[in-house]
Chains A and B, each alone.
Chain A
Amino acid sequence: MSKLFLISGLPRSGKSLLNDILNQNKNLFSLSHSPMCEMLWRQYNLWNDDHEFAKYDLSKVKDLKSKYLKEFIFNFYKNLTDKKILFDTKLSWSNINNIKMYRDIFNDKPKIIACVRNVEDIMASYYLHFDKQDRFWDFEPLKEKFFIDYWNLRYSYLSRYKDRFCIVEYSKLIKEPEKTLDKIYKFIEEPKFKHDFKKLKLSETDAAKVLTKNQLSHYTKMSFWRGYSYR
């Protein structure tokens, strides 16, 4: 029987990097930018919609829900890999409704690896990134999207699913990769593996140079995984 773990977190926090590292292990398969969450949600929604149920007379398949959806997931992965330990990467997994969906299907809470980074560093990184293309981060619609992702993660992390999150900080992933990977293997209860970390490089953005004092004091308070309170 395969196992499915989830990877989520904040944008620009090293999700793809973690994907590459995990894929070095021959027993693991990690898929980045996966459409799984959305596909599953559409299937799963059908069962909750009484109107649709009446239309198609789906009452006979009512009990099939969990079994059918489990097969749906693993069939999807069967086309991609033979490996038994799977990682699905998508920001929206940190939404509490998706976590509840997972729990409903597998009858168990999910284990989520959440990649995070200091919010002020993310902001500074975005400012520089858009400024290079002569665009202004304050006006980007992506900024709204960022805060949606942020509040989803924050809400789920501070809920009763807190013990199901493994927070992976970007700076620690770069500076102490072995320790961080040990932590992840301990979290998913799998044997350790010796990874190759030669190519890791810390992207240097000095938030203090890009942001103002006002912004810094506001955004540093937003790193909730350290126990800071917001406002």
Chain B
Amino acid sequence: MKLFLISGLPRSGRHFLTEVINQNPKFFAITKTPLCELVYRQFNMFWDRDRIYQKDLVREETQKMQYPFLREYIENFYSNFTDKKIIFDSSSTWHTRYNIWMLKLIYGVEPKVICCVRNMEEIVSSYTKLFYDNKKFFEDSLLRDDNNLIKTYNELWRTRSSSFRNALHIVKYDNLIDDHDNTMKKIYKFINQPYYKADLNKIKRDKVYDKVEEINGLQGLHNVKPGLNKSKINVKEILSEIQIKHWKKMNWWKY
């Protein structure tokens, strides 16, 4: 089994890209799985930082089985979903340095992470509009510690400045929509697989997204549609000049 990962910033077309890749009959791509967290917990247990299980990990056999066990664990997890051999797991946490390091130890080679990004001012205005339509105020949630946007942005920045930067393949939202074929070809080249042209009209919206929207209390959070539709957002209408100026500074992938 081969495992590839899809990650990136929120509101940058990650779910759309997952559905496009899922059109390939050889591939199985899925979002909203707990795999990352599950593997992380198993992995941590073997490292045992709190030294609670130290005496259970003394045997040589136990120490040797660590990585094969985790590989089988991941394979078993997906055998419940599909028979296909090439799997894409999509979650915004995959691009952190710790997770990449973890997978490198388990598989022996660096994992390949496809990272969706989009201009920050567009992400923020998209969020602002989404929150406004749901009668909420986005700036309030920016102040909270559990804010997803700043957290994932910082993690991505740290990874791309670290020695793991070659594990990342940046996919810009504008390119994904405007120059779709070339962008997809580059992705296939990155993962070393023969190119397959997907029929975008066959894309279906996963029913799970409804439940996710309900949990978050945000209608229209995962608005995946068939075909190439660029979200029509006028940044200047939604954000002020000062805000645009400062959010723009964060787009490091432009330079």
User: Which of A136, A144, A147 has the most C-beta atoms of chain B within 10 angstroms of its own C-beta?
Assistant: A136
- Chain A stretch 135-176: residues in CB contact (< 8 A) with chain B: 136-138, 143-144, 147
A212 and B241 CA atoms in complex are apart in Å by 9
Contact A210 B240 (CB under 8 A): yes
Contact A138 B142 (CB under 8 A): yes
Contact A212 B239 (CB under 8 A): yes
A131 and B143 CA atoms in complex are apart in Å by 18
A2 within 8 A of B: no
Contact A212 B246 (CB under 8 A): no
A147 and B143 CA atoms in complex are apart in Å by 10
A211 within 8 A of B: yes
Question: B129 to nearest A CB, angstroms?
Answer: 9
Contact A143 B143 (CB under 8 A): yes
CB contacts (< 8 Å) of A128 on chain B: these are: 242
Contact B137 A138 (CB under 8 A): no
Contact B246 A138 (CB under 8 A): yes
Q: How many A residues touch B, CB cutoff 8 Å?
A: 15
B174 within 8 A of A: no
Given A211-B240, A214-B238, A144:B143 Cβ within 8 A = yes
Contact B242 A210 (CB under 8 A): yes
A127 within 8 A of B: yes
A143 and B128 CA atoms in complex are apart in Å by 18
B243 within 8 A of A: yes
B253 within 8 A of A: no
A215 within 8 A of B: yes
A186 within 8 A of B: no
Binary contact track A183-196/B, C-beta < 8 Å → 1, others 0: 00000000000000
CB contacts (< 8 Å) of B246 on chain A: these are: 131, 136, 138
Contact B242 A218 (CB under 8 A): no
CB contacts (< 8 Å) of A143 on chain B: these are: 143
Binary contact track A116-132/B, C-beta < 8 Å → 1, others 0: 00000000000110010
Given A127-B242, A131-B242, A136-B246, A214:B128 Cβ within 8 A = yes
CB contacts (< 8 Å) of A136 on chain B: these are: 242, 246
Residues on B lying within 8 angstroms of A by beta carbon are: 128, 132, 137, 139, 142-143, 238-240, 242-243, 245-246
Residues on A lying within 8 angstroms of B by beta carbon are: 127-128, 131, 136-138, 143-144, 147, 210-212, 214-215, 218
Other than the known A136-B242, A143-B143, what 7 A-B pairs have Cβ atoms closer than 8 Å? A138-B142, A138-B243, A138-B246, A210-B240, A214-B137, A218-B137, A218-B139
